[in-house]
Every structure is written in structure tokens, then in C-alpha cells.
Structure 1
Amino acid sequence: MSDVTQTETPTPEQAQELVRGRLVLLAGGTSAVGRAAARALLEAGARVVIVGSDATRLTEAAADAPGAHAELCDLTDADAVSALRERVHAAHGDVDGVLHLVGGWRGGGGLAGQSDEDFAFLLRSLTALRAVSRAFDEDLRASPAGRLAIVSSTSVARPLAGGANYAAVKAASEAWTRAVAQGFAKNARDAERAISAAAVIFRVKSLDGLEEALAAAFVALWDDTADAFNDVVIEVGAGA
């Protein structure tokens, strides 16, 4: 894995033509970060599909990013995600990018306060990541500029007892993403071609106030070739 890289907030103008016309899926994209990412991608010329499990929030997110398409799906259900892929293919073609934003926070109470109920809630993020990355793996490997990114936490490197459930799930999600990155590299080696897909981990200390920064950082993943980003951890935000 590449060393952790600190990043300044890129501007939309820094995005090169590589992102223009790409089809990008925002998994769990009804959050503030998802909405910011949808707007930034559309501004850069990408095509956007916002996926969420709450119909009201999904409608609001799509209205906040005119031009984006909305898909209702339970991303923790592998069969539902497979059906989602078929719908997206039929309507828009192959996917070039996935930003995984299914998440949430539950914690506190020290180690004794790390309940099974909270762990089950947090585990939904990893379950969704597994389903989505498996369903769209072929798309991303075949794309001339495929990108998969997750939003993780600096707590993976500095876990606390009160956030043990959260840090454990984030660490597992990072491991899964690194495995995806290895798969991208192996596929390119086996085909004797340059790698064209990258799996990236964004780490933040907190999402508060970083919505636009994360959105711009995701768009900027198309600023360079895949080998510059694959299996890289990028810390976003001055306080990260």
C-alpha cells in the first residue's frame, strides 16, 4: 500500500477531461457528501447515478443535483445490487466510477459500551461495500478510467476504546478496498497491459465541513492515471 498522502482541497477547474462523460455511481449518495459529489461530478462533465434506500431522501438528493439520475436500492442486499447493475446498464451503460458512502456513526461508552446492536448497524457499510464492489468489479476493470473510492476514518490508525466498533468496521472496509486494488493490478498484469482502474481510500477525522473537499478530491481521482492512485490512502482535510 502506498504511504498516506495529505491532500489540499482541489478545485473543480483542476479536473481534467478524463472524468468528462464517465458514468459514476454514488452508493449511499443521499448524504451531504453524496450531494456535493454529485454536483461536482456533473460540473466536471460526468454522468451521475445517485443510489439510496430512502425514497424521500433520494428524491431530494436528485433535485439538489439537476441532471443526476436516481436509483432506489438496498445496497446491503446482494440480489438487489445485481438488479441495480442490470438497470444501470440498460439505461446508461457500463459504470466507470463508484464512490461508497454507506456509513454512519455509533459509539461511546468505552469498550463495555460497544454493543452488538451498534456493531450490526455499522457492519451494514461493509456489507454494502462488498455487494457493490463485487457487482461492478467487471465494469471498473474494463473501463479505461475506472475508479472505486471509500470514505474511511483516521481512527483506523488511532483507534479508541469508545469507537472500537466503528474503527474495526472501517479497518475491514479498508482491507476489502485494498483487495479490490490488488485485483485491479493483477488483472492488468495478467492481460499484459497498463492498469486502468484504481481503488482508493479517503480518510477523514470528521465529515463536518469537508463535504466539498471530499467531493473535489473524488473528482480529482481522474486527474492522473490509475497507477498513481491504486491502493493509495489519501487524508482529506487539514485536521485529518
Structure 2
Amino acid sequence: MNDLGIKDTARRALSGAVIAVPGAGGPLGRAVLLRLAAAGAIVVGADNDPERLAEAVAAARESTGGGATVTGEPVDLLDPEATRAWATRAEREFGRVDGLVHLVGGWRGGKTFAETGLEDWALLERLLIRTVQHTSLAFAEPLRRSERGRYVLVSAAGASRPTAGNAAYAAAKSAAEAWTLALADHFHTSAAPDRLSAAATILVVKALVHDAMRAGRPHAKFAGFTDVKDLADAVAGVWDRPAPEVNGQRLWLTEKP
């Protein structure tokens, strides 16, 4: 393992791969961009916050001494046509698309089931489901054409065991998982026998933590949380495994509920 925590096999698997990363501007997006760029991937980021995205892209480029190809552009992932146009541009510019790592997130919740606001569902349905629908539909065929296509969704353990105050969030995450598993079935059923090269995979965490959170709450233990750097390593590791091994799988980075 090298000094960035990336296995040599993952580096070989990702070298030259073209990976799209929607939601690239947040703490997790920044960690994923750094990992993919360090592994030799061509990274195509997108976010709805241009300033935050520019900072994440610059950090990823600087992490490799300017040797990595990392781009970013604002894309409205709630617009299906804009999302398809982004996929088309990426494939036209780089000749292929080998992966999409879906990092668009959001959370709303309450203390009790009775306090659940349907306005929370309306927001989460857009952020957590619509964006998955639009990116998967836009990138499904480019990924299927790739020799190492991967669609990676980050989900939450709460989708498998919803709590009373988390109804809207858990339901939205569960729907996003179901949609991703349907994409996995598309990859499976459309591939020639023993020739599956594309996969849709779900990485499951309890919750995420990053350095700024620890600095803001120095006495918190964040028990069971996954550090964004560790999740970024897990993302890179998806390319290290054969498509049949990860297609349609939930890969747990926390204890199963």
C-alpha cells in the first residue's frame, strides 16, 4: 500500500479510467477526487456549487503535482437533459466513460414519526432519487460500453432498518438502492454470457465523518461513522474487483443492522 493508502492493484485498475463524480464539491467529493486522481484516473466532477467544485478540482490536481486530469463543471442533475448532455460531453471528450460515483446527498429528519414533514420527503425525493435516476439513465450505455464500467452509489444503513424519525430519508435511500439494483440487472441481462464488464454497486455506511467535523466536535466519538477518506478508498477498490463480483451487491462498510 502506498503513502496515500491506495493498493497497487487499485491503481492499475483505475489508471486512465474516465470517472464522472456528481456531487464532487463536498467533503466526500473532495476525498473521492483526491483518491481517483492519485490512482491515475481521469476525473470529471460536477456540482451545483461552482465555487466549491472549483476548490475540490484544484485540490485534486495539486495533490498529484498537476499531473492528473481533473475537470469540473456545474450541472443541474435535476434536469434530465442537462445530465444526458454532460454524459455525452464526457464520452465525446475522453472517448469513453468507465465509471460514475454518485455522491449527491442530503438529510432531513425529526424526532418522531408523527413529526415527519412531507416537505422533507419532497426535498429528499429530488436529491436522493431523481439525481440517481437521471445519472443512471444518462450514463448506463456509456458504462455498458466500457470494459470496466462501474456505477457506485453511496447509501445508508438506515435504508435497511428505518427509524421512526427517519422515515423520509430511509425511504428515499431505499428507493435509490432499488433503482441502482435495477441498473445492475440491466448490466447483467444485456451482457453476453461470461462477458459482464459493467457493474452497479452500493456502498453502505452508517454515517460519514471528516476532519472539519472532528475539529468542530473534538470530544465526539462518532462511533460507527466512516471517514470520508476510508470511503474514498472503498470507492477506488470497486474497480479492483471483477464486475460479476460487485454487480448488484451492497458492500457494507459498517455493521449490518
Give the TM-score normalised by the residue count of structure 2: 0.85
List alignment gaps of at least 5 residues for structure 2. 62-68, 211-226
Change (3 A) 1:55 1:19: same
Alignment of 1:218-229 (within 5 A): 218-229=235-246
State how far apart, in whole Å, the 2-side matches of 1:120 and 1:171 are.
15
Shift, 1:193, TM fit: 4.4
Tell me how far 1:182 sits from its aligned partner. Answer: 0.4
Q: Matches of 1:203 and 1:232 in 2, distance apart?
A: 10
- Which stretches in structure 1 are left out of the alignment for 5+ residues? 1-9
Could you tell me which amino acid in structure 2 is paired with residue 206 of structure 1? Answer: A
2:124 is matched with: 122
1:215 maps to 232
- 1:16–1:222 contact (8 Å) kept in structure 2: no
Among residues 231, 234, 237, which one is paired with 2:251 in the alignment?
Answer: 234
Q: Specify the alignment match of 1:141 in structure 2.
A: 144
Structure 2 matches for 1:92-171, cutoff 5 A? 92-124=94-126, 125-171=128-174
* Structure 2 residue matching 1:173: 3-state secondary structure: helix
What is the RMSD computed on CA atoms of the aligned residues? 1.7
Structure possessing the higher relative contact order (Cα contacts under 8 Å, 6 or more residues apart) = 1
1:238 Cα deviation from its structure 2 partner: 6.6
Name which one, 1 or 2, has greater alpha-carbon Rg: 2
C-alpha displacement at 1:92, in angstroms? 2.1
Distance 2:112 2:188 in 1: 40
Whole-angstrom CA distance in 1 between matches of 2:89 and 2:160: 38
Instruction: Indicate if the aligned counterparts of 1:126 and 1:172 stay in contact, CA closer than 8 A.
Output: yes
Match of 2:5 in 1: 11
Distance 2:143 2:44 in 1: 15
TM-score, normalised via structure 1 length = 0.91
Tell me if the contact between 2:11 and 2:40 (Cα under 8 Å) persists in the aligned partners.
Answer: no
Of the candidates 37, 54, 63, which is equivalent to residue 42 of structure 1?
A: 37
